[in-house]
Amino acid sequence: MKEAIHPKYHEVEARCACGATWKTRSTKHELHLEICSNCHPFFTGRQKLIDTEGRVERFTKKFGAQTVASRKKPAPKTGAGKTAKTA
């Protein structure tokens, strides 16, 4: 390796906007993040539905508000379960 061409690698404390902090290494002296794995919706499971141009309302108007319980209703039974024979 050539001397004096590589940046210095410091141990820093990364800080998120939510208040979480952790130690890491970086070429920068400070790391300030807007979002981390403690507050990101993908990792926390608290997804927020962002509606752009009324797309969610159009979808619910077209298909209705579907729930898991309404989709799992059993299909209506036809007849007594026997098939009709044709002569």
Range of the domain at 57: 10-61
**Does 53 fall in a domain?**
yes
Amino acid at 22: W
Give the phi and the psi of residue 55 in degrees, each rounded to 5.
-65, -35
**Does 69 fall in a domain?**
no
- What are the pLDDT digits (tens) for 37-51? 778 766 666 766 555
pTM attached to this predicted model: 0.42
Burial 13-41 (b: 16+ CB within 10 A, else e): ebebeeeeeeeeeeeeeeeeeeebeebee
**Does 31 fall in a domain?**
yes
Looking at the predicted structure, is the pLDDT value of residue 31 above 80? yes
CATH classification of the domain holding 42: 4.10.80.400
**Does 14 fall in a domain?**
yes
* Mean pLDDT, all residues of the chain: 77
Q: Rounded to whole angstroms, what are the CA distances from 1 to 4, 6, 36, 84?
A: 9, 9, 34, 85
**Does 17 fall in a domain?**
yes
**Does 38 fall in a domain?**
yes
**Does 34 fall in a domain?**
yes
Q: How many domains does the chain have?
A: 1
Q: Which two tokens stand for residue 5?
A: 């061409």
